[in-house]
């Protein structure tokens, strides 16, 4: 019998199409009647924001490949042209579903709850008068209409900005009649405007900014008449390019490149569905796009800005129930974080357990006279970060503070440049990682003098040091003062801040050096155990799975009889359930209240002690080969068993928010049928959080 070719394109799902399938699952949350109404609106907005980033990064990359004549193909063997064609078809369908859901279901449901979006045709005299005064007072002084004629060429439209193209009749003060003008809505303007109680009968009546501008756009052109006013929005390439081999200062180079993000190459045009064909053709020519790049919108062209409705409407009954993240009893009983960690490893599961102990750990290190040095990797931190404030305090008090700031954290570049400047001004040593590799590891190292010895305290996590996302993302953080772990983390920092050859680590596994091979070896060992009749099982939870060699290794392990259960939130290029290839592999995706972000890897290890790893890395090429990542073992048996139960078995038992990947690349939602309903996230809220 001929050997099966595990690299055959038929065995791989296209990464971009898989990402769009993930966005469909997010959109389904907006359709799910068991989700609170205002949260459904938020899921709709998230699906729109995901599409924005998809075009800004993924589609723009494919278009660049097409422009430069690239023939590069992925494991699925689809060319850039074929991918763009399929993407256009899929996204047109997704966007049609978004607006159908908004107009046909969400807006009527909101109206039943006295949350109304009033159209121009629905304004009564009092409301119309208020809107006119609002336009004159708040909008007219800010809006800058631009006529289109030889002296006024088509303006450079900002990325994702709400813009209007206006058709005109009549002549202006100079006798000109260009027939067309552009009006841009500054980002500072709210896209939803709440009507005051004095002019409305409902508690939450809103009008769209676009409706106000439509109603009074003629006022911007005295003596002329606006015969049409149509929203549009252009999405641009937002992937920054910096040739790291040719720059002397990465920070300065990125600062110079950031402004170009607002004016990158056009990749998508969204227009109002009532826009005349000739006006649409005019815009298509201006942006040098193709027909398949145009998306008609039967509603606001930027659904993302509807996210503010949840903040503007005080209706707790239409939102998820609040909860208070729990602080573990060990920390509640003992405020000294160093003493707590010395007594044994400690794991935190966010957002069910509080992020506050992580902040407190850095704060205590900043103030403790015994602490000599603090080293930390920062990828994303958020504004007004308490962790950064503690690092600044430590540096100002004379401690040795070294911070690796990843300037190229996508869409956080500007914030991270400001962060780096703040830390440097306080006296901290700031480095930007390694040329050619993003520093994606999440860790803090504190060196403390205790009597005659120096002890290393470490925090390592699967997520960022970002207080806000710690309330929205599921992540793990491990505190330990294990000597070997601390020594390994110190060596990682030495690699990042100094120069030298690859050093051998005792317990940690690191990208770009050993993580990929280590995972391949562990998968292969499970296959050997299965062939030898020993217990063999792999369970892994991650955000994305696309790396071809890992997928091939999983296929080979499945053929050997290894039971493989994968929990992959987003992109998955592996095809499960293919006869003779992946019959023992299941892939499920959990989409719920919190964004699943933990990376947990379990290997049964035959008759030996089972092994479990946490990591900052997904199973993607970039994480294995182009990023600095860490993967660390969980050696405490009690903690290991807890993580197996919480992050693996618990999610494999989910029959409420789980989607199963089919071999054709589609996903099917799991139904609990007559069985008891179980949601992994709700179970963790009940078990860990203080509801």
Distance, in Å, from the CA atom of 302 to the CA atom of 58, rounded to the nearest integer, reads 19
Helices (H), 511-547: 515-531
**CB contact at 8 A, 79 and 73:** yes
DSSP codes, 600-612: EEEE--TTS--EE
**CB contact at 8 A, 233 and 260:** no
| Pairing between β-strand 438-439 and β-strand 627-633 as defined by DSSP bridges | parallel
SS3 of residue 30 by DSSP = helix
SS3 of residue 137 by DSSP = helix
**CB contact at 8 A, 577 and 585:** yes
Helices (H), 259-379: 277-287, 309-312, 329-333, 337-342, 356-367
For the record, the structure tokens of 28 come out as: 């389904």
> Exposure pattern of 532-553 as b/e (b: 16+ CB <10 Å)?
eeeebbbbbbbbbbbbbbbbbb
Can you list the pairs that 612-618 forms with residues at least 24 positions away whose Cβ atoms lie under 8 Å? 612/640, 612/643, 612/644, 613/509, 614/460, 614/461, 614/462, 614/476, 614/478, 614/643, 615/462, 615/515, 616/440, 616/441, 616/442, 616/461, 616/462, 617/440, 617/511, 617/515, 618/542, 618/543, 618/544, 618/545
Query: If residue 495 lies in a helix (H) or strand (E), which one and from where to where?
Result: helix 483-497
Residue 217 Cα to chain centre, angstroms: 37
SS3 of residue 483 by DSSP = helix
350 classed as catalytic: no
Please tell me what DSSP assigns to residue 320.
Answer: P
Longest dimension (CA), the chain: 90
Name which of 248, 282, 288, 280 is nearest 264 in CA terms: 288
Edge-to-edge strands of the sheet including 225-236?
Answer: 146-147, 180-184, 163-169, 225-236, 266-272, 294-297
Among the options 440, 459, 466, 597, which is catalytic? 440
Distance, in Å, from the CA atom of 146 to the CA atom of 621, rounded to the nearest integer, reads 46
Partners of 149 in beta bridges? 152
Please, which residues have CB within 8 angstroms of residue 589's CB and are 6 or more apart in sequence?
22, 25, 567, 568, 569, 570, 572, 658, 659, 661, 667
Name which of 610, 299, 348 is nearest 463 in CA terms: 348
Catalytic residues: 440
């Amino acid at each position: 019998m001929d050997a099966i070719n595990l690299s055959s394109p038929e065995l791989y799902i296209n990464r971009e199409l898989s990402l769009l399938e993930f966005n469909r699952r997010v959109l389904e949350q907006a359709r799910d009647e068991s989700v609170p109404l205002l949260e459904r609106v938020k899921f709709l907005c998230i699906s729109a924001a995901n599409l924005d980033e998809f075009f800004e990064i993924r589609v723009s990359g494919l278009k660049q490949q097409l422009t430069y004549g690239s023939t590069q193909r992925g494991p699925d063997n689809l060319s850039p042209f074929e991918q763009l064609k399929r993407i256009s078809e899929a996204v047109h369908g997704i966007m049609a579903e978004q607006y159908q859901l908004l107009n046909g279901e969400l807006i009527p449901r909101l109206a039943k709850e006295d949350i109304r979006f009033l159209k121009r045709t629905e304004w009564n005299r009092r409301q119309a008068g208020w809107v006119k005064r609002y336009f004159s007072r708040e909008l007219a002084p800010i809006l800058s209409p631009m006529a289109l004629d030889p002296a006024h060429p088509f303006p450079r439209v900002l990325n994702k900005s709400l813009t209007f193209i206006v058709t005109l009749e009549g002549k202006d003060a100079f006798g000109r009649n260009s027939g067309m003008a552009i009006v841009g809505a500054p980002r500072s303007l709210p896209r939803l405007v709440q009507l005051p109680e004095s002019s409305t009968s409902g508690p939450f009546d809103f009008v769209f900014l676009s409706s106000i501008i439509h109603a009074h756009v003629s006022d911007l052109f005295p003596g002329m008449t606006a015969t049409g006013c149509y929203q549009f929005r252009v999405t641009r390439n937002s992937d920054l390019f910096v040739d790291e081999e040719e720059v002397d200062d990465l920070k300065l180079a990125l600062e110079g490149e950031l402004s170009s993000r607002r004016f990158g190459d056009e990749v998508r045009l969204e227009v109002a569905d009532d826009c005349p064909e000739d006006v649409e053709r005019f815009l298509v020519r201006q942006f040098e796009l193709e027909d398949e790049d145009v998306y008609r919108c039967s509603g606001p062209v930027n659904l993302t800005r509807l996210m503010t409705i949840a903040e503007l409407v005080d209706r707790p009954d239409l939102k998820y129930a609040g909860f208070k993240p729990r602080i573990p009893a060990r920390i509640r009983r003992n405020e000294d974080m160093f003493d707590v960690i010395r007594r044994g490893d400690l794991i935190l599961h966010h957002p069910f357990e509080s992020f506050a102990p992580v902040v407190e750990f850095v704060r205590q290190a900043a103030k403790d006279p015994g602490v000599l040095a603090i080293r930390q990797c920062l990828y994303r931190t958020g504004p007004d970060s308490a962790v950064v404030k503690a690092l600044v305090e430590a540096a100002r008090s004379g401690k040795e503070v070294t911070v690796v700031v990843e300037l190229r954290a996508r869409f956080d570049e500007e914030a991270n440049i400001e962060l780096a400047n703040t830390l440097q001004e306080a006296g901290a040593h700031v480095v930007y990682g390694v040329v050619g590799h993003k520093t994606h590891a999440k860790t803090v190292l504190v060196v403390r003098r205790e009597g005659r010895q120096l002890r290393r305290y470490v925090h390592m996590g699967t997520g960022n040091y970002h207080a806000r996302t710690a309330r929205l993302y599921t992540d793990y953080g491990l505190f330990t003062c294990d000597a070997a772990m601390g020594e390994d983390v110190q060596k990682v920092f030495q690699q990042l801040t100094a120069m030298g050859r690859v050093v051998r680590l005792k317990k940690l596994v690191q990208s770009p050096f050993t993580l990929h091979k280590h995972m391949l070896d562990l998968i292969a060992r499970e296959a050997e155990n299965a062939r030898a009749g020993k217990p063999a099982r792999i369970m892994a939870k991650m955000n994305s799975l696309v790396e071809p060699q890992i997928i091939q290794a999983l296929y080979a392990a499945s053929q050997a009889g290894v039971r493989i259960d994968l929990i992959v939130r987003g992109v998955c290029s592996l095809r499960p359930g293919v006869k003779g290839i992946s019959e023992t592999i299941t892939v499920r995706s959990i989409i719920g209240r919190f964004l699943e972000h933990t990376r947990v890897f379990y290997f049964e290890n035959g008759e030996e002690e089972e092994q479990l790893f946490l990591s900052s890395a997904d199973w993607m090429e970039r994480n294995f080969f182009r990023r600095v990542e860490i993967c660390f073992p969980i050696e405490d048996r009690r903690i290991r068993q807890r993580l197996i139960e919480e992050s693996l078995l618990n999610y494999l038992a989910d029959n409420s928010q789980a989607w199963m990947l089919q071999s054709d690349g589609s996903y099917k939602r799991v139904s609990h049928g007559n069985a008891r309903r179980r949601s992994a996230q709700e179970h963790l809220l009940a078990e860990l959080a203080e509801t």
